[in-house]
Amino acid sequence: MTPNATGVDAVIDVVTAVLLIAGALMSLGAAIGLLRFPDLMSRMHAATKPQVLGLFLVLAAIGLQMREWWVWPILAVAWIFQLLTVPVSAHMVGRAGYRTKHLHPELLSTDELEAVVLRAAGQRAAEKAQEAESAMPHTGKARNGGNARNGGNGGNARNGGPSA
């Protein structure tokens, strides 16, 4: 930031300061959510969303301060990396959390996945285990119980892989 800025510089500095403090507040919001929410799933919301916006605000502040056009594509790449990775890791953590019964049923108003799980546990266990085995040789055997459903890992790994 410019010391004793005047004119345009001063305006840019004020905007930068606002963006930086808002970005830092987003981190604080994530931490408050982590502390106050009762279960893993709601904490996941708190951990992912403010993170994305916070990085966006702070990167925008960097772009304003550098004042060179070639900075923007770099910052965009950094942000897009996060846009691609954050939902995937949130989904993986959430899926593991649901499968290991980290959910508090008393906090849910409806759970439409549970019925599907119970139905699937009996009739589809065998074929899914086979599918899982052919897709992932060393994890298929470990998960041939009721929770070895055809997850989204196939689609995510394939589509997220090349770009992330």
Which 72-131 positions form the footprint of another protein (CB under 8 A)?
Answer: 73-75, 77-78, 81-100, 102-103, 107-114, 116
Q: Considering beta carbons, is residue 45 or 133 the nearer one to another protein?
A: 45
Phi then psi for residue 51, to 5 deg, are -60, -45
- With tokens 């890992």, the residue in question is 153
Binders of another protein in range 144-163 (CB under 8 A): 144-152, 154-156, 158-163
Phi then psi for residue 74, to 5 deg, are -65, -45
Binders of another protein in range 23-82 (CB under 8 A): 23-56, 58-59, 61-62, 64-66, 70-71, 73-75, 77-78, 81-82
| 57 contacts 23 by C-beta, under 8 angstroms | yes
| 150 contacts 131 by C-beta, under 8 angstroms | yes
Each residue 1-20 as x (binds another protein by CB under 8 A) or -, in order, gives: x-x-x-------x--xx--x
Nearest alpha-carbon partner for 23 in 75, 70, 68: 75
**Distance of closest approach, residue 127 Cβ to another protein, in angstroms:** 10
**Distance of closest approach, residue 72 Cβ to another protein, in angstroms:** 10
**Distance of closest approach, residue 9 Cβ to another protein, in angstroms:** 11
Neighbours of 158 (CB within 10 A): 9
